[in-house]
A and B are shown apart, each in its own frame.
Chain A
Amino acid sequence: MSGLNASLATALSGLTAEQGALQATTNNVANVNTPGYSREVPVLVASDPILVDPLTLGTGVTLQTIESVRDPILESRIQQETQTQGQWSALASALAQTQVTFTGGTGDIGTAISSFFNSLNQLSTSPADLSLRQGVLTAADNLATAFNLASNNLTTQRSNLNGSVEQAAGQINQLTGQIAKLNGQIADLENVGQNAGTFLDQRTQLIDQLSALVDVSVIPTDNTLTLTTANGTPLVAGQQSFQLSTQPDPSGAQHIYAQGRDITSSLTSGQLGGLLQARDQQIPAIQTQLDTLAAGLANAVNGVQTAGYDLNGRLGANLFTPPPASASGAAATLSVAITDPSKIAASSDGTVGNNGNADAMYALSTQPLIQGQSPTGYYSTVVFNVGNASANANAEQSASGLVLQQLNDQRSSISGVSLDQEAANIMRFQQAYSASAQVISTINSMMQTVINMKN
């Protein structure tokens, strides 16, 4: 095929290709503000040439495909950092709530410990004074209440985190279902050689959202994707999604199950990882420290109290209810065992005016009772640990935010729409279109000449 008709076909291919290229550019401009949209570029290739001895003649241009511009490695990094941010964000939020329990105030444990020992110090100045004895009982009661409140706050927080775990599992199921559906749509389009850019963008956005919730590994397979958790538990395989479920353990903590297997301990990243870390590691550790402090303090005070004599000359009874031997739950159950102020054993020899035992109880305030530290010293360590963990979580969250910002900027520079560039492209394609049209017009004129020659 050669001659004017062939030239006409070649020019026509140019018109069609440039039209398609303009369509892609127009779509880019229209989506300039669409979140997650990746710009499209037309891929133009020269059509197969034909041999007309002794010449090889070109046959125009073909718009092979319209490609979305993506950087898979960058997207993978964004997903990883999103997981990290989700984890630290959940942990920072949980620890901020925990910190409130340990913020200095009238009802906090540190103040209650100081008040209790101050009341004992005052009692030692006048050991027979019933009002001062009542003051000790009130301070002891306040101390027990402060421990109970702090422990209950932590328990309530763990229970709230349980609810968040269930909610996160539900969101994960919803997202994996949507991703599996998109996998099907993408495969259908790509199998017939069509551009699935829009669906790919939607899937990328959903994977980003999923990454914020759980640690996801993305494994690309033919025209589709497989998503697993970091330890390999499948979440999505092609068009099938695998639902997560939650079940409470005997303590009431919700565990995450995938296909009948408990995967709770393997989830370390994403919001779910952060929630589990706060619920199963951070808060229980703080609770254990509180129990240790409560048990150590109660045992020490009881030890001195039972070695002295009360106002009636009888051997002292426990001031606090004895904590469990393992100390577990001591903070939550700590209470004052006596209500009669005369039963405080201030005397060390049984005489009414003796203050030896009150002094000995007061001296406990500076003794290394708990893991080599005084009660206030140990409590300060607990508060420091909580504050430090919270500050670290906040710093990690900020660092993730900065890294994500940087990566998203990079993604925008690669996949984002630049209006300047698109404007230049429009002019380029428009000029090419006009040139092709001009060629057609010229061929038409040439054909007219040929027709006129015949007449």
Chain B
Amino acid sequence: MTEPRPNNVACPSSEPALRTADAEIAQARLSLLTELEASLQSSQHAILTRDVIGLEQSYGQQIRLLRALRILDPAQADLIFGSELRGAQMRILHLARVQAALLARGQRWLRTIENLLAGPATNYGPAPPLHYQNPRTVAEEKERASCRD
């Protein structure tokens, strides 16, 4: 009776096959990272041009890519395309930081717009009821009603 082989040690006969599988995983991981890099660049452009639809699309793509990246085991891939993967990861990290910085700027700009829209006559009293109508509109309605009469 032979001792069972530990799980983490491959049979010599299956080693080349495993190496091929690892290489494929590494290649897939690298291409996903490259795709993520391109997606981050396009989402940055979308933030800058205030293209909300483009931004949503990029985010959707990024979420899909991240899920795919989580599935692929990085341990083996890192051994095969070590420097290329590290390079891609560093670039993605930088792009993600830039994106965060751009979003922070966008948020500041939105706050400014919000304050501008609020105007100097901000009402600090209770919020108007839901059925509230602009007095001018009410007056217009009355005028219209009298015209109809």
Chain A residues with Cβ below 8 Å from B97 are 391-392, 394-396
Q: In this assembly, does A402 line the interface, its C-beta being within 8 Å of a C-beta of chain B? A: yes
Task: Pick the contact of B44: A81, A400, A402 (CB < 8 A).
Answer: A402
Q: Across the interface, do A403 and B100 meet the contact criterion of CB distance under 8 Å?
A: no
Chain A residues with Cβ below 8 Å from B94 are 391, 394-395, 398
What's the nearest-Cβ distance from chain A to residue B25, in Å? 28
Q: Across the interface, do B98 and A403 meet the contact criterion of CB distance under 8 Å?
A: no
Q: Mark A383-405, 1 if CB is under 8 A from B, else 0.
A: 00000000110111011101100
Q: Across the interface, do B49 and A406 meet the contact criterion of CB distance under 8 Å?
A: yes
Chain B residues with Cβ below 8 Å from A395 are 94, 97-98, 100-101
Q: Across the interface, do B102 and A399 meet the contact criterion of CB distance under 8 Å?
A: yes
What's the nearest-Cβ distance from chain B to residue A141, in Å? 35
Q: Across the interface, do A399 and B49 meet the contact criterion of CB distance under 8 Å?
A: no
Q: In this assembly, does B11 line the interface, its C-beta being within 8 Å of a C-beta of chain A? A: no
Q: In this assembly, does B105 line the interface, its C-beta being within 8 Å of a C-beta of chain A? A: yes
Q: In this assembly, does B52 line the interface, its C-beta being within 8 Å of a C-beta of chain A? A: no
Q: Across the interface, do B100 and A402 meet the contact criterion of CB distance under 8 Å?
A: no
Task: Pick the contact of A396: B44, B49, B93, B101 (CB < 8 A).
Answer: B101
Docked complex: B93-115 residues within 8 A CB-CB of A: 93-94, 97-98, 100-102, 105
CA distance A406 to B48 in the complex (A): 7
Chain A residues with Cβ below 8 Å from B49 are 406
Which residue of B is nearest A403, CB measured? B105
Task: Pick the contact of B102: A392, A394, A403 (CB < 8 A).
Answer: A403
Interface size on B, residues (CB 8 A): 11
Given A395-B100, A396-B101, A403 contacting B48 (CB threshold 8 A): yes
CA distance A255 to B105 in the complex (A): 30
Chain B residues with Cβ below 8 Å from A403 are 48, 102, 105
What's the nearest-Cβ distance from chain B to residue A347, in Å? 44
Chain A residues with Cβ below 8 Å from B48 are 402-403, 406
Interface size on A, residues (CB 8 A): 13
CA distance A403 to B108 in the complex (A): 13
Chain A residues with Cβ below 8 Å from B100 are 395
Chain B residues with Cβ below 8 Å from A392 are 97
Chain B residues with Cβ below 8 Å from A394 are 94, 97
What's the nearest-Cβ distance from chain B to residue A172, in Å? 25
Q: Across the interface, do B105 and A399 meet the contact criterion of CB distance under 8 Å?
A: yes
Given A403-B48, A403-B105, A398 contacting B98 (CB threshold 8 A): yes
Q: Mark B53-90, 1 if CB is under 8 A from A, else 0.
A: 00000000000000000000000000000000000000
CA distance A313 to B19 in the complex (A): 60
Q: Across the interface, do A391 and B93 meet the contact criterion of CB distance under 8 Å?
A: yes
Which residue of A is nearest B108, CB measured? A80
What's the nearest-Cβ distance from chain A to residue B104, in Å? 8
Q: Mark A105-136, 1 if CB is under 8 A from B, else 0.
A: 00000000000000000000000000000000
Which residue of A is nearest B93, CB measured? A391
Which residue of B is nearest A406, CB measured? B48
Docked complex: A369-428 residues within 8 A CB-CB of B: 391-392, 394-396, 398-400, 402-403, 406
Q: Across the interface, do B93 and A402 meet the contact criterion of CB distance under 8 Å?
A: no
What's the nearest-Cβ distance from chain B to residue A127, in Å? 40
Which residue of B is nearest A407, CB measured? B48
Chain B residues with Cβ below 8 Å from A84 are 105
Which residue of B is nearest A88, CB measured? B101
What's the nearest-Cβ distance from chain B to residue A31, in Å? 28
What's the nearest-Cβ distance from chain A to residue B102, in Å? 5
What's the nearest-Cβ distance from chain B to residue A96, in Å? 14
Q: Across the interface, do B93 and A399 meet the contact criterion of CB distance under 8 Å?
A: no
What's the nearest-Cβ distance from chain B to residue A295, in Å? 33
CA distance A398 to B101 in the complex (A): 9
CA distance A143 to B80 in the complex (A): 37
CA distance A395 to B44 in the complex (A): 12
What's the nearest-Cβ distance from chain A to residue B10, in Å? 34
Chain A residues with Cβ below 8 Å from B44 are 402
What's the nearest-Cβ distance from chain A to residue B88, in Å? 16
CA distance A398 to B98 in the complex (A): 7
What's the nearest-Cβ distance from chain B to residue A28, in Å? 27
What's the nearest-Cβ distance from chain B to residue A149, in Å? 28
Residues of B within 8 A of A (CB): 44, 48-49, 93-94, 97-98, 100-102, 105
Given A392-B97, A398-B101, A399-B101, 20 more contacts at CB 8 Å?
A81-B105, A84-B105, A391-B97, A394-B94, A394-B97, A395-B100, A395-B101, A396-B97, A396-B101, A398-B94, A398-B98, A399-B98, A399-B102, A399-B105, A400-B101, A402-B44, A402-B98, A402-B102, A403-B102, A406-B48
Q: 8 A-B Cβ contacts within 8 A? A: A395-B98, A395-B101, A396-B101, A399-B102, A402-B102, A403-B102, A403-B105, A406-B48
3 tightest A-B CB contacts, nearest first = A395-B97, A399-B101, A406-B48
